[in-house]
Amino acid sequence: MKFFCVSGYHNVGKTSFILKFLEFLKKKKETFAVIKSTHHKNILSSDITKDTSKFSQMGADTALITPEEIFIEKRKNVIKKFSETQGIRYIIFKYFFSYDWVILEGFKNTELPKLEVIKDVSDINFNLVNRLAFVINENLANEEKQKELLEKLEQYFPKTPVFFFKDVEKIYEFLKEKLESYRLKIFIDLKEIKLKPFVENLFYNLLTTFLDSLKDTQGKSVEIFFEKRSNNDSQR
């Protein structure tokens, strides 16, 4: 599973780009989900869900996340009083780990990897963290604006790749190479445990070998729940 954010200011074309990327993934027969952030409390209103409906029509499971709740479309699962302390990474792994791709719209204030969609020089967010590349919306930027944008990006971000909406296949190949691919993730009391590659492979191979010895374990995504014993319990 790989994930990334599509960030940018209002009306730069974030949703349009995601739909274009989903269309490409669909042709490649890869699975995908989309997570969208919103500050609205009534997340089931038609105005807020219009974008997620477009994603659903492309075959995506979708989620709307606010500081108070998560609404997962298709599964119709609403978690009331969602705690921000869980963190967006926990939500990704908890609910969407079985997908090939998870695309997040917004989330510009997180440390997650991002593509920044822009159409004008004024759209550049100089404070954005973990930007992988710029994506210029050529549908909203004429040739003069595009030229100005490219000059500014070369001046301030000479090492950051720049793509256009039409470069969806190039963006796909770039992300496949750039993004980390996850096979296993451990959280303890909602805290993510960082594993070195050797340890992760060890865990993965041990669990895979054990599960292969059991019946009815052919699923793509595996969830294991257990309560860690205290030192006193282990001595009994």
Per-residue pLDDT in tens (0 to 9) along the chain, 236 residues: 899 999 999 899 999 999 999 999 999 999 999 988 776 656 555 455 566 778 878 787 777 776 666 676 655 555 544 554 457 888 888 888 889 999 999 888 889 999 999 999 999 999 999 999 999 999 888 888 899 999 999 999 999 999 999 999 999 999 999 998 887 888 887 788 888 888 888 988 888 888 888 887 777 777 777 776 666 554 55
pLDDT in tens, 60-110: 777 777 666 667 665 555 554 455 445 788 888 888 888 999 999 988 888
* pLDDT in the model for residue 162: 96
Nearest-10 crossing angle of helices 14-27, 168-178: 80
Q: Kindly list the structural domains of the chain, giving each domain's residue range(s) and its CATH number in brackets, ordered by start.
A: 2-178 (3.40.50.300), 186-234 (no CATH)
- Which amino acid, 58? M
Contact partners, residue 134, CB within 8 Å, separation at least 6:
115, 116, 118, 124, 153, 157, 160, 161, 162, 163
- Map tokens 């963290």 to a residue: 129
pLDDT in tens, 204-215: 888 888 888 888
Please state whether beta strands 191-193 and 186-188 pair in parallel, antiparallel, or not at all (unpaired): antiparallel
Distances (CA, A) of 25 to 144, 170, 211: 32, 13, 30
Contact partners, residue 42, CB within 8 Å, separation at least 6:
48
Please return the burial class of 162, using the count of CB atoms within 10 Å of its CB with bins 0-12, 13-18 and 19+: middle
pTM given for the model: 0.81
* pLDDT in the model for residue 81: 46
95 φ, ψ to 5°?
-110, -15
DSSP-assigned states of every residue in 82-139:
--GGG-HHHHHHHHHTTSSEEEEE--TTSSS-EEEEESSGGG--TT-SSEEEEEE-TT
